[in-house]
A and B are shown apart, each in its own frame.
Chain A
Amino acid sequence: MVESQSPGQASETEEAARFQARVDQEIKIEPRDWMPEGYRKTLVRQISQHAHSEIVGMLPEGCWVTRAPSLRRKVQLLAKIQDEAGHGLYLYSAAETLGTPRSEMIDALHSDRAKYSNIFNYPVLSWADIGTIGWLVDGAAIINQIALCRCSYGPYARAMERICREESFHQRQGYEIMMSMAFGTSEQKRMAQSALDRWWGPSLMMFGPSDRDTAQSSQSMAWKIKRVSNDDLRQQFVDMAVPQAEYLGLKIPDPDLKWNEERGHYDFGEIDWAELKRVVSGDGPCNKERMAARIKAHEDGAWVREAAVAYAEKKRQRESAARIAAE
């Protein structure tokens, strides 16, 4: 969009005060409004990271499309994966409104300068893992994303609303898979339990480090980019998941998990923060595989992108030649 210069240039501090006042009044910030550089940077980092997660998140599920146990399961998994591609695209567009081209964000991902959700660095070992991912990973994403619908940046909040509307089927299809596994043969039930055992810890880590250890959070909270703290979101997730696991007759792998009458919440054990740190910094079971697959897909598609540009150019030239001939 076109940049414009305001006639009466207000000073930086005046602008900053006006900006914060708008945020405090819950007025959404739009792309061409004045915003502090830090706000812009934080959003580009967060939204592009979110977009990368949607795109990389397709990889662990993609390899199960051909192995889905029935046609019904196959079409639902395909539809879910298509949605995740859409989510990635909505989010890249939202980030682009802040002035960073998509190609730059993708470059950052491919050259290891940007992160994506750590959860996708774990392997998907059985069909029950696909159920668990829909149930817990999409379940955690929904909790995170509902909070983000109230983010102060308009394009991000609107993308989140659209995404939240689409996510709920992801979680339900996952839970449905878990039901057929958990209520199936003893072998199926064992697979369901094993998937829960492996995905529970990483799912809790999806909400990020503990509030005790996050420096960034308070500025993001003041800017209303972040509305609910990591630990509060995590608690919401645990409170949601425990009865769901009980219904399935599965056991959450945490000896410290118990209902706390006084707090009105479930208490749960300490998270393995060392593991989070290790996997985030690149040393997880699938980090290399995921990035290699992403880069390969991008490079293998290069000729298609080039051909499309050449075709569009040829068509443009033909059309303008025809117009000249007709004149």
Chain B
Amino acid sequence: MTAGNDWPLWEVFIRAREGLSHKHVGSLHACDAEMALQHARDVYTRRREGESIWVVQSTDIIASAPADKESLFDPADAKIYRHPTFYEVPDEVECL
């Protein structure tokens, strides 16, 4: 006896409240987009956790490699002049 092949895997993103962006909450199996939405509703919003759902087939997500983390993100650490605290301005001048 075998459980057979699984339906494709989908990643689920939920907008918790109006005004917020969608956030990844988990994944699930479904044979098409419509079923993925229905399952996402049943699995991830039983307590009204959402206003809106996005589902994306997991194979369609392109992710950066963990090994590239340093080369991608470390350069930003050196660019402290991108932050307001880098600049010295007098206290008595307002609205800066």
Q: Give bound CA distance, A110 to B4, whole Å.
A: 12
Q: Do B1 and A295 touch (CB < 8 A)?
A: yes
Instruction: Kindly state whether residue B80 has any CB partner on chain A within 8 Å.
Output: no
Chain A residue with minimal CB distance to B27?
A93
A contacts with B: majority SS: helix
Chain A residue with minimal CB distance to B58?
A1
Q: Do B66 and A86 touch (CB < 8 A)?
A: no
Q: Give bound CA distance, A32 to B69, whole Å.
A: 12
Neighbour of B66 across the interface among A7, A33, A305, CB < 8 A: A33
Q: Do A1 and B66 touch (CB < 8 A)?
A: no
Instruction: Kindly state whether residue B29 has any CB partner on chain A within 8 Å.
Output: yes
Chain B residues whose C-beta falls within 8 Å of the C-beta of A103 in the assembled complex: 2-6
Q: Give bound CA distance, A46 to B59, whole Å.
A: 26
Chain A residues whose C-beta falls within 8 Å of the C-beta of B63 in the assembled complex: 1-2, 32
Instruction: Kindly state whether residue A312 has any CB partner on chain B within 8 Å.
Output: yes
Instruction: Kindly state whether residue A54 has any CB partner on chain B within 8 Å.
Output: no
Q: Give bound CA distance, A110 to B31, whole Å.
A: 23
Neighbour of A106 across the interface among B3, B35, B66, CB < 8 A: B3
Q: Do A32 and B65 touch (CB < 8 A)?
A: yes
Chain B residue with minimal CB distance to A103?
B3
Chain A residues whose C-beta falls within 8 Å of the C-beta of B31 in the assembled complex: 308-309, 311-312
Instruction: Kindly state whether residue B43 has any CB partner on chain A within 8 Å.
Output: yes
Q: Give bound CA distance, A6 to B67, whole Å.
A: 6
Known: A86-B43, A102-B29, A315-B32. A7 touches B67 (CB 8 A): yes
Instruction: Kindly state whether residue B46 has any CB partner on chain A within 8 Å.
Output: yes
Q: Do A96 and B27 touch (CB < 8 A)?
A: yes
Q: Do A309 and B7 touch (CB < 8 A)?
A: yes
Q: Give bound CA distance, A82 to B41, whole Å.
A: 13
Instruction: Kindly state whether residue B55 has any CB partner on chain A within 8 Å.
Output: no
One digit per residue, 1 when the CB lies within 8 angstroms of any chain A CB and 0 when it does not, for chain B 57-78 equals: 0110111011110000000000
Neighbour of B6 across the interface among A101, A299, A302, CB < 8 A: A101
Instruction: Kindly state whether residue A258 has any CB partner on chain B within 8 Å.
Output: no
Q: Give bound CA distance, A97 to B9, whole Å.
A: 11
One digit per residue, 1 when the CB lies within 8 angstroms of any chain B CB and 0 when it does not, for chain A 13-24 equals: 000000000000
Instruction: Kindly state whether residue B28 has any CB partner on chain A within 8 Å.
Output: yes
One digit per residue, 1 when the CB lies within 8 angstroms of any chain B CB and 0 when it does not, for chain A 96-138 equals: 1100011110110011000000000000000000000000000
One digit per residue, 1 when the CB lies within 8 angstroms of any chain A CB and 0 when it does not, for chain B 17-35 equals: 0000000001111011001
Q: Give bound CA distance, A166 to B3, whole Å.
A: 29
Q: Do A89 and B66 touch (CB < 8 A)?
A: no
Chain B residue with minimal CB distance to A315?
B32
Chain B residues whose C-beta falls within 8 Å of the C-beta of A34 in the assembled complex: 66
Q: Give bound CA distance, A308 to B31, whole Å.
A: 7
Q: Do B6 and A89 touch (CB < 8 A)?
A: no
One digit per residue, 1 when the CB lies within 8 angstroms of any chain A CB and 0 when it does not, for chain B 34-55 equals: 0100000011001100000000
Q: Do B5 and A89 touch (CB < 8 A)?
A: no
Chain B residues whose C-beta falls within 8 Å of the C-beta of A110 in the assembled complex: 1, 3
Chain B residues whose C-beta falls within 8 Å of the C-beta of A86 in the assembled complex: 42-43, 46
Chain B residue with minimal CB distance to A9?
B67
Neighbour of B4 across the interface among A2, A33, A158, A305, CB < 8 A: A305
Contacting residues of chain A (276-311) with chain B, CB-CB under 8 angstroms: 295, 298-299, 302, 305, 308-309, 311
Q: Give bound CA distance, A107 to B5, whole Å.
A: 11
Q: Which residues of A contact B (CB under 8 A)?
A: 1-2, 4, 6-7, 30, 32-34, 79, 82-83, 86, 89-90, 93-94, 96-97, 101-104, 106-107, 110-111, 158-159, 166, 295, 298-299, 302, 305, 308-309, 311-312, 315-316
Given contacts A7-B67, A104-B3, 11 further A-B contacts (CB under 8 A): A32-B63, A79-B46, A86-B42, A93-B27, A94-B26, A106-B3, A111-B1, A305-B7, A309-B31, A312-B32, A316-B32
